[in-house]
Structure 1
Amino acid sequence: MAATPSLKLESEKYYLLRKPLLPLQTVLDLNEQTRQEPARLGPALLHLFRDEQLQEAIYTASPELYAELHKVLAKGLDPAGKDDRLVATLYKYLIRMSMRCTPYGLFAGCASGELAETTTFDFTGAPPLKQSRLDMNYVNELVKHLLTTTEVKYQLRYFPNNSLYAIADSYRYVEYKVKNKRRHYSITSVRKSSYLEVLLQAAGPGIHFARLVELIQAEEPEATPAEAQAYIEELIDSQLLISELEPTITGAVFFEGLPQKLAGKVAAPVVAQVAEIQQLLEAGGVRNFQQVHQLINTSFGQSSSKDLIQTDLFFRPESNTLKTEVIETVTSQLSELFALANKTNLPDLERFKKDFVERFEDREVPLLLALDSETGVGYGRAEVGRSDHLPLLDGITPRAAAPPKSSEWKKYTQLVHRLFRQAAATGAQAVELTPADLAGLEEKPDLGRHTPASLYAFGSLLASSPAALDAGDFRFALGVCSAPSAANLLGRFCYGDTKLLDNVKASLQRAEPDTEEAVYAEVVHLPEARIGNILMRPHLRTYEIPFLGLSAAPAEHQITVQDLRVSVRQGQLVLRSARLNKRVIPRLSSAHNYTTGLPIYRFLCDLQKHDIYFGVSWYWDNLSSEPFLPRVQYRNIILTKATWHLTLADLQPGEGRKKTLTEAALQQQLVDRKLPRFFCLTDHDNELLIDSHHAVARQLVVQQLEKKGRVTLTEFLATPDNCPLQGPGNTHYTNELLLPLYNGAYMPPGTPARALPLPDVTRSFAPGSEWLYLKLYAGTKTMDRVLTEKIRPLVAQLLAEGVIDKWFFIRYNDPHHHLRVRFHVPVGQESRFAQVVQAVQQALAPELAEGLVHKLQLDTYVRELERYGATNIENSESLFYHDSQAIANVLSLLEGDEGETYRWLLALRGLDELLTDFGLELPAKKQVLQQLSEAFFQEFNGDKSLQVQLNEKYRQESRRIRSFLNPAEDELNGIEDATHEFLVRRRESRGTVAAIQALYPQPLPASAAGFSLLASYVHMYVNRFVLSKSRLHELTLYGLLHKYYTAQAAMEKKTISGPKIVSYAL
């Protein structure tokens, strides 16, 4: 039975506790008092809602409901039942205020706490802090109103739309139009012009309206001031230029700083009115909020009071601590439960990688170009070599990457079905998951390395008291344990709690430190004005990526989308800032569901989940719709609650169904299904506590059934005897915890910085230029024979005649297996291009006629300037030439199945010689091969089984490896002719290697960039040498050579010092 290597999560020393405004007894007592006489519910609710605090809570949630409530409080309830709907609404709101912890207005709030020696909850101190602000939708409308006045418009600074990018003779950018308070986006194209380019360049750091007018007149002297102003206003109206008043969603709350932004730009009374609104919001209370509404209508245009004000509630407890051992218990068990985790399935990202490689190969291109649906690849839409004789790979079968979660019958699904059957057989409402169950799941050898350093657990503590909690007598009802950052759910609460802000920043600095190679960057995007209410957060990271949303970070800490470059390297998506010359790892510190957003927003947010174990939660797989699903527990952790699914058909079986349901029919179903008295009516993350002994509560379920035809009911576990958070008078509060966690074993993606290509180095060579690029499509064996029997002698002839001066080849398998051959004709003799084409066609005529070569394709050669460096590309091409010559000559010496064994042994020898060509001695060779072998081991989901296979392969072949790597035994092995070719390569490439090394102040392996270059040369060497399955050969060859070097080093009697090796993730 395989066991997943342990993941050791650590808890941070703080947490966020969320709780409702009212104790649970508020609704429980109300139910008990009125369940025998449901007609008493209305008067009892009105009595409760005479409380000013509750009235303010209702007003912040719905001013319209507050107005209805006020009328009924004045005149009383209608005896004919006309106010029944109002009573039902107030009842649901009271339930919400008494049991649901999700912060919403004044219904529920939060408070940060710390780990300590004991658990203490004392919320009887200072009254809660109420932080109110204008709804972001109205802030946006207010800014638009201000911009309609010429006085304001002419005083502001303007910036280019931060989605702007250039394509050929046009600019493209994203603009939006608002319909029914929703933004509808479209890509707009505008033709370039000299004065538009001048304006956009000048507007980069921000520019005043008047200066824009001056620039237009300087470019177009005949334009009048009125014409120039009209043109600038058109740019503003079309959103090509964005004003400095565009609301920000990071940093300080935007509206609080608006008076200062407006000072000196608008009339003093306007600034005073905005400041007065802010003062009224800070004071709070229904009367002040009503005055805000009146002031806005008077001064800034009519608005609805609905959704005008947003309020957050922050409790200020006397003490809020949890015993350290309690959280350590939860954290330890969550670590074990990561055996359930899977890597995130991101089909759009995988499709993008595939399309990108087909289109751009190894190039690095601007991100906006790659995501453009016309010029790029957009975003959001039988194995080769199976029959080859590849003796080196005998017995090497890496574990395939785990498929995405599905209903396939695999180990997890088997476990789910077994637990379900177990509960069904016994009638139990709960089943226990065991460590043995977890050990039986698929191995995850990369779990520690690929689980992000920062993550969070979200759930509720269930215990009879703080003392019981500290004694270990508790349960933790897990909502989710998720990545890629603890800030995802904590970020929006940081602006109301400076201590929480400091803690979150410290956590992120610990888990996501910026380095010389990579930086983490916050995605700043405002998809809808109202969504800004949940997207608002302080600056949490040093760098931000603004896209259709303004960042308040300093300009030097903003990474524009125009600055971003993307590439695919060894299957990994790499995002890089050209300005910083560093890898960029995007993060979104928000719970916003981005999946329906714009392509670039989705891409950046998907990228943060790339190749990681995203978290732990229970998934019932293809059983999710069963009528009953039991609770699943693991030690102290409840993974999922007992769940019942109820349909209309359950209450009205047969064909003659009534149009309306009765709560009596529901009551019978609840008895038949053995539901407890208290349960929750659940719709996604919305839960409403139902007391099945109360007719009005049952009617709420009936109404939902009539509306949707199906309801989900879940058990309610936070009963008073399970609430450790207690208040005065033996009251109890439900709770939710956000626990920030840390994984110290995480290995962040690392990539050496890439130098920008120099503009005077030619990147592309179309057919007819100095480089001829041909693709030969054939089977693997045919391709090898064509290389050695046709291309090799043809090249020798062309070189001897001076028709070409260099050439090289590589093997490729995307989308089909083929050989890529590039011929270089001397500069100034491009007329010989046709001669080379004709010579190749004649040489391959028999194979083309017989269909052995089924396609010969002429293509454009695009240099990999980012990979090899603009100043080094010609050196690299020369090295490839000498390498191709040597390998083609060696391969021509091989015959039959025995030749395939010689192929991999000579590949090892040639690789060792290549490292020697670059001046590496044994210690440096050993360190280089260690890094390469480890990188490929990870790529192939390396586990104990694969390690055993590689060890066994070396044990079997170690004698031959030692012999073939010993020049003294070349004659004995009959490989003198082959190894001679490696010596010729060394002699012919000596000047090229010296030129390459001259570009680096230290030996290549001593720097990240130098190691990356050497790794690329080694990779291309192996690609040329092996018949197929190139990357699997690399895994094996690097592993064997590293073991050989390790053995050789152990036999050395003295230490040979080599250059320092810098870590680099392939």
Structure 2
Amino acid sequence: MTVSPRYRHTGLVLARVTTDPGDLDPVTQTDPADPVAVEQDGRAWLAKVWARPEARDALTLASPVLGARLDRILGEDTSTPTAKELRRAVVSVASYLLRWQRRATPFGLFAGVGPVAVGPATAEVGTRHRAVARADGEWLTTLIDRLDRHPGLRPRLTVVVDTARIVRDGRVIVHRRAEVGASAPGPLRESSVRLTRPVQYVLTAAGSPVRFDTLAEKTSVRFPSASPDKVHALLHGLVDAGVLITSLRPPTTGVDALSHLIGALHAAQACTLDDLAAPLRELDAIRADLARHNNAGDPAQARRIRAAVAARMTALAPGVGHALAADVRLDATIAVPERVLDEAARAATVLLRTGTRPFGSAAWLDYHARFRARYGPGALVPVRDLVADSGLGYPAGYLGAPRARPAWRVLTDRDAALLALIQQATLTGAREVELADADVQALTVGEHVDTVAPQRIELGAEVHAPSTEAIDRGEFRLRITAAPPAHTSMAGRFAHLLDDADRARLAATYTAGPAQPPSREVFDTAVAVQLSFPPRRPHNENVVRVPPLLDDVVSLSEHPGHPDPARPDPTVIEVDDLAVTADAEQMYLVQVSTGRRVMPRIPHALDTAVQSPPLARFLAEVADARSAVFRGFDLGAARVLPYVPRIRYRRTVLSAARWILTAADLDTRPEADHPETDRPGAVDGEQPLRSWRQRWGVPARVVLVQGELRLPVDLDHVLDRALLYTRLERTGRIELHEDGPPDGHDWIGRPAELLIPMTAITPPTRPLPATAAPDAVLQPGDSAVVHAQLAGNPARFDEILTTHLPRFVSELHDPRDPDPSVRSWWVRRHRDMIRPETDHHLALFLRLSDPRHYGALAARLAAFAADLDSRGLPGQLTLAPMPQHPARYGHGPALAAAEQVFATDTTAAITQLAAARESGIPAQALAAASMAHLAAAFAPDPVAGHRALLECLRQERGPLDRVLRDRALAVADPERKYRAVRALPGGQTVVDAWHARDTALGAYHRALVQQDRDPGTVLRTLLHEHHIRAVGVEPAFEKETGRLARAVALRHLALAGAR
């Protein structure tokens, strides 16, 4: 079966290209472990590199610390550096230069970004690249922290409450960011204040920006008994704790954060404060210099301005590692033909098809199941309530989540298929696995037609070809280099480098609509919103600042800033206006005030697991939680193999060949005899590495991969091997990936990669379910419903249902009692499909006439469980809360009518199980007939009911047991008053139970109609619940039973002449 593309490129493609000047000369054959070689060759080489203005500028911007070290080593008036210092400088500079030569990933001045046209292949890269500089995130944070504490300035600033705040146990809690200079954000850090009445007032009053002194006045008026000093102390405490955010802190939708700060200072008239007037003038001058730099046409002039402004910034806020950050707009004209982008679209489709998570991650599958169990389908739960500890919290694996990520993993059929392909290639000596369409099918998890594809994705790919003419002839290869999560973007960060037309084309890719909408109405209620939030580590502000690309923004923990008359502000959607709902297949984020479905987009590629606040990650993921997880090719269980060959589909390398190298492979030992070399992990000679390469067939040109580090190295060069040894010693394990062919970048003359935004061609229609606010959970002990769970072997549940449970319930009823304690009862079987290793349980629900009977009924249940246990049957009893699902079943009279359906359906299921046991007829056959009968009764007429069943039970493919089908058709004969069922032992009881259920279904149908609800939305649930009562919880069985029920419904429609 041919793989048809599910994505198409949007017309905007970006190129990421190294700005390597072409004549860099790293000392690749100098051994850093040899002090003599380093002293003789290394120092002269450093001086040669440092004398080049463009190299000095790029290195200093990348690492000011390294720049200062080189100034010290190469200066005339300093002492001679030690061998250790010189070696470290050589290795550091060489690493940067090798990166500059060999990598296209933007970083400082080493690589740039530019648009790519679609047309005949063209590659003209000039030298007048334009650097766009701005204040570094840590430098700016240091300055703002200092200004924020100024006692004369703070009262003039506007403040706003942190929108990501949490209220827990009488305290207001916010998450604090890591300190400036931190190498990692670390665990979540909380800051809190008591939620007193004045604090509650301030939280409400500061919902939108208000001046600090004005807020103080309002608070004093509201609480006249509090002195002004106490009110000011309260507000200062809230700012210091991070509960209130001042206008000095720029939102991440502002790329020019320095201008935001200057604007806030001018708005506060900081120039009238004696000790701030001069710093403000200096900031104005720095901003002017940066503007001159960013508009400079001459790279040499830009370098001079950059050096001068960096010095001024360091003087203003000393002690910060970086003062400037920069991105580069390429001086290049690049075009690729349509066939290159079509090939990338096919590769993206194969990545989606062969992914290991076609219906969402395990954490989100679990969260979706728990949401539906607790709140019910259609429940509209406010986001704050949902992620609170009193709700479900965050999904497993999130920062601050109540559940850790599961550590176990099951070997799947996909793993087996991929391992077989890898083993076959290894045995035959093939260097790659070439996937045919049949292999793609074998690696597909589930039915690919059921997969919900993310609406927007991005794909990074290298084009390998010897010339542009070869590309036009179709003689090229692609290699996938990046596949960011669908809710993030690698392109948005560079939007500020694009012209207005290209920026608009980029923005259009983030909208909620598909490339080819199947119907306009379906997507009119979906809105894409830009998610804006500060990173957990100030250093990462350099990569998260993206201008507004969408009309709506969800802003977390940010001050909205000052209105810009030149640009209309986006509409801000508050967190309190967001809620989550779900149906059987998907979760949805909804704007409560409008009823629109919200699709958050993070327009940058900052890691969401650790570097981003958990609420931002939750909002970004929940809207597409059950969609397929788009990512690079997943090796699955093969990821632990020491070698995996290249995996290719058509022209595209989906996964480069990969080797795992450990310290044990080289038998490395620290060289205690040569401490002066300062070479951790040095080995005794090069033979171990040569032997390892020969054994595993490792080429010279590979990419060293360690976490986020990607460094192309040439193992034939001494310096490159030294870098490998150093990295290996630090971690004990590294990955080496096959690099592209030597002439792969000849078409453009340097390392380059394309970044291709794509949108789904025809995404599935997913209208929002009918929603309602969730009802309170009924807690054990004081509830009108007893929810008891009997855990144990599910093979014994039929015996409990048919023999022991009816006897127990009959003992609860006293025919002489006009007000019985139990008015109705029903059961459900339960199995956790996300964690199949957990216990199954049988859930029993008893509707009480009065909550006062709960204690007595609990005691009776305990005795019943003990009796089961004494008989060797499952008797592990748990009294559990009772969730209510008005969005699923209706409310008030409709919910009461639904419970009568549950009760009568339970009776029908038990009688069917008994009849099946006595007669030998398959329980599935009776259940299928019962489901068709149920649908006929839950409709204005049987024909409408059978048609509704055909609509809600999807037609499945594959062989169907003919004998089982014939048995189902034989017992499903309403025209003959179910004569075949009546003939069974206990058959009359089954038919009587069906008729009793008919009455309850009719009443429930009328109740739903009276509440303006579509009964058809409930039918699928009623059919599912009947199956789990009458057969069990097994998806494969349920699909088969559904097919039998469809066959019965089709037979009835044919007999009625209604097909």
Measured against the shorter chain, the TM-score band is: 0.7 to 0.9
AA paired with 1:596?
Answer: V
CA deviation string 1:7-66 (max 9, x = no partner): 54433323111111125564499989xxxx996676566556544333332232123444
The alignment status of 1:489 with 2:513, answered yes or no, reads no
- Rate the CA distance shift 1:709–1:1023 in 2: closer, same or farther, 3 A: closer
TM-score by length of 2: 0.81
Q: Is the 8 A contact 2:180 2:538 kept in 1?
A: no
Between the aligned partners of 1:859 and 1:1028, the Cα distance in structure 2 is 21
Q: Residue 667 and residue 406 in structure 1: after superposition, are their counterparts in 2 closer, same or farther (change >3 A)?
A: same
**How much has 1:142 moved relative to structure 2?**
2.0
Alpha-carbon distance between aligned partners in 2 of 1:534 and 1:684, rounded to the nearest angstrom:
18
TM-aligned CA distance change 1:867 to 1:328, over 3 Å = same
- State the distance in 2 between where 1:981 and 1:430 align: 63
Distance between the aligned counterparts of 1:890 and 1:407, measured in 2? 35
Residues 775 and 347 of structure 1: is their aligned pair in 2 closer, same or farther, counting only changes over 3 Å? closer
> What corresponds to 2:245 in structure 1?
242
Q: CA deviation at 1:280?
A: 1.7
Q: What's the secondary structure of 2:771's corresponding residue?
A: coil
Matched, 1:266 2:269: yes
- On the 8 A contact 1:450/1:613 being kept in 2, the answer is no
Name 1:508's counterpart in structure 2. 510
**CA drift at 1:530:** 0.9
SS state of the match for residue 530, structure 1? helix
Shift of 1:818: 1.9
Amino acid in structure 1 at the alignment position of 2:1044: L
Distance 1:846 1:114, change over 3 A: same
Q: Which amino acid aligns with 1:10?
A: R
The alpha-carbon deviation at position 220 of structure 1 amounts to 2.6
Give the direction of change, closer, same or farther, for the CA distance of 1:799–1:853 in structure 2 (3 Å limit).
farther
Contact 2:107 2:327 in 1 (8 A): yes
- Report the CA distance between 1:997 and its aligned residue: 0.6
Matches within 5 A, 1:155-234: 155-167=156-168, 169-176=170-177, 178=179, 180-181=181-182, 185-234=188-237
The alpha carbon displacement at 1:468 in A equals 0.9
Classify 1:762/1:414 alpha carbon distance in 2 versus 1 (closer, same or farther; 3 Å): closer
Distance 1:404 1:480, change over 3 A: farther
Residue 461 of structure 2 aligns with which residue? Answer: 459
Counterpart secondary structure, 2:819: coil
Tell me which residue corresponds to 2:1006.
994
Q: Which moved more, 1:155-164 or 1:982-991?
A: 982-991
Q: State the distance in 2 between where 1:738 and 1:225 align.
A: 57
Q: Quick check: 1:582–1:753 contact (8 Å CA) kept in 2? A: no
> How far is the alpha carbon of 1:752 from its aligned partner?
0.6
2:953 paired residue among 910, 916, 933: 933
Task: State which drifts further: 79-88 or 135-144.
Answer: 79-88
Q: How far off is 1:231 after superposition? A: 1.1
Determine the structure 2 residue equivalent to 1:590. Answer: 604
Q: Which residue of 2 aligns with 1:723?
A: 745
Query: Does residue 1039 of structure 1 match 2:1055?
Result: no
CA 1:575/1:743 → structure 2, altered by over 3 Å: closer, same or farther?
Answer: closer
Partner of 2:400: none
Match of 2:539 in 1: 530
Residue 120 of structure 1, CA deviation: 1.2
Aligned to 2:356: 342
Counterpart of 1:343 in 2: which secondary structure?
coil
Shift of 1:1045: 3.9
Residue aligning to 2:274: none
The equivalent residue for 1:53 is 54
Q: 1:7 to 1:474 in 2, by over 3 A?
A: closer
Q: Give, as a single letter, the amino acid of the residue that structure 2 aligns with 1:422.
A: T
Contact 1:59 1:286 (C-alpha < 8 Å) held by counterparts: no
Task: Confirm or deny that 1:331 pairs with 2:349.
Answer: no
How far the C-alpha of 1:202 sits from its partner, in A, is 1.8
Residues 1014-1042 of structure 1: CA distance to partner in whole angstroms, max 9, x if unpaired? Answer: 44444445444x14227556434433333
Q: Secondary structure at the match of 2:267?
A: coil
Q: CA deviation at 1:849?
A: 6.0
Q: 1:1039 to 1:516 in 2, by over 3 A?
A: farther
Secondary structure of 2:846's partner? strand
Unaligned runs of 5+ residues in structure 2 are: 31-36, 272-276, 294-301, 398-407, 675-681, 832-838
Deviations 1:78-119 (A, max 9, x none): 899885654444333332222211111111111111222x11
User: 821, 824, 843: which is aligned to 1:819?
Assistant: 843
- State the match for 2:326 in structure 1: 311
2:886 to 862, 865, 870: 865
Deviates most, 458-467 or 1030-1039: 1030-1039
Matches within 5 A, 1:902-921: 904=924, 907-908=927-928, 910-921=930-941
Q: Give the whole-Å Cα distance in 2 for the aligned partners of 1:859 and 1:337.
A: 43
1:415 aligns with 2:413: no
> 1:582–1:988: structure 2 CA closer, same or farther, 3 Å change rule?
same
**1:365 Cα deviation (Å)?**
5.1
CA contact (8 A) 2:16 2:752 kept: yes
Q: TM-score, structure 1 length as denominator?
A: 0.80
49-58 or 920-929, which deviates more: 920-929
Taking the TM superposition and a 5 Å limit, the aligned residue runs for 1:502-651 are 502-509=504-511, 510-511=513-514, 515=523, 519-525=527-533, 526-549=535-558, 557-565=571-579, 570=584, 575-581=589-595, 584-596=598-610, 599-601=614-616, 603-604=618-619, 607=622, 608=624, 610-617=626-633, 619=635, 621-622=637-638, 626=642, 630-642=645-657
**Aligned equivalents of 1:903 and 1:955: distance in 2?**
12
What letter is aligned with 2:427?
Answer: R
| Aligned counterparts of 1:632 and 1:908: Cα–Cα separation in 2 | 46
Q: Render the CA deviation track for 1:833-865: whole Å, top value 9, x for unaligned.
A: 667667778888965764657255555544223
> Residue type matched to 2:807 in 1?
K
| Number of positions where the alignment pairs a residue of Structure 1 with one of Structure 2 | 988
Deviation at 1:592, TM superposition (A): 2.3
Aligned to 2:875: 854
Q: In the alignment, which residue of structure 1 is the partner of 2:826? A: 809
How large is the Cα RMSD of the aligned pairs? 4.6
Distance 1:1052 1:200 in 2: 65
What are the equivalent positions in structure 2 for 1:767-786 lying under 5 Å apart?
Answer: 767-768=781-782, 770-775=784-789, 779-785=796-802
Percent sequence identity over matched residues?
18
Q: Against the structure 1 CA distance between its residues 652 and 580, is the aligned structure 2 distance closer, same or farther, given a 3 Å change threshold? A: same
Work out the CA distance in 1 between the residues paired with 2:1047 and 2:924.
16
2:47 is equivalent to residue 17 of structure 1 = no
d(CA) in 1 for partners of 2:732, 2:791: 58
* Deviation of the 1:742 alpha carbon: 3.4
Specify the SS of the correspondent of 1:131: strand
Bigger CA drift: 519-528 or 904-913? 904-913
- Note closer, same or farther for the CA distance 1:1032–1:574 as it changes in structure 2 (3 Å cut): farther
SS at match of 1:764: coil
Paired residues of 1:130 and 1:314 also in contact (CA < 8 A): yes
Cα 1:555–1:791 change in 2 (3 A) is farther
**What is residue 256 of structure 1 aligned with on the other side?**
259
Distance in 2 (CA, whole Å) between partners of 1:1017 and 1:646 is: 56
Q: Is residue 948 from structure 1 mapped to residue 958 from structure 2 by the alignment? A: yes
Distance 1:921 1:84, change over 3 A: same
Q: What do the CA deviations read for 1:618-677 (whole angstroms, capped 9, x no partner)? A: 638557563x65544444223444556666677679999975557766896699677666
What letter matches 2:897 in structure 1? S
Q: Secondary structure at the match of 1:230?
A: helix
Q: State the distance in 2 between where 1:437 and 1:407 align.
A: 12
Counterpart secondary structure, 1:747? coil
Residue 881 of structure 1 corresponds to 900
Instruction: Check 1:648–1:816 CA distance in 2 against 1; reply closer, same or farther (3 A cut).
Output: closer
Pairwise CA distance, 1:265: 0.7
